[in-house]
Structure 1
Amino acid sequence: MKYLVLLLIVVGGIWWIRQQRRPHTHTNKPSGPQVMVPCAHCGTHTPESDAVRGTQGTYCSAAHRDAHEG
């Protein structure tokens, strides 16, 4: 009986270690293709979710928006 308990503890420990080493897939990245939009200042294409919106278009950064819109 004590060998059965010992075997269960060892198997449970191995299972727990394997669960801890498994990569976690809890990311907030959108799945699938993303729409790319060009920067109105430099022309670099940026994912629409990361683009900075301005009155004259979309930009790759706030610095380019400020430089282009004045």
Structure 2
Amino acid sequence: MKYLVLLLIVLGGIWWIRQQRKPDQATTQKPGPQVMVPCAHCGTHVPEGDAVRGGKGMYCSAGHRDRHEG
């Protein structure tokens, strides 16, 4: 019986430590909406941060940029 109580205390301590290490939900900023840009080659919309920039516009991949710009 004493081992069961000891096990519960250890597990409770581990749970409490893990709860203290988690970031506070109120202070963490969730990422907002991203601007979507169309690919100049195929028209697929991709997030601006993931788009590949080219001389004639934005592209969904380096392959489409190479094909479109020659």
Alignment coverage as a number of residue pairs:
59
Matched, 1:16 2:14: yes
Matches of 1:49 and 1:15 in 2, distance apart? 42
Please name the residue that 2:24 is paired with: none
Deviation readout 1:7-35 (Å, 9 max, x if unpaired)? 4652232442583xxxxxxxxxx701000
TM-score scaled by structure 2?
0.65
Matches of 2:50 and 2:64 in 1, distance apart? 14
Q: Which runs of 4+ in 1 moved over 3 A?
A: 6-9
User: Structure 1: where are the runs of 5+ without partners?
Assistant: 20-29
Q: Name the amino acid aligned to 1:10.
A: L
Aligned-residue CA RMSD (Å): 3.2
Please name the residue that 2:40 is paired with: 40
Matches of 1:15 and 1:34 in 2, distance apart? 41
User: Structure 2: where are the runs of 5+ without partners?
Assistant: 19-29
Please name the residue that 2:61 is paired with: 61
State the percentage of identical aligned residues.
61
Please name the residue that 1:51 is paired with: 51
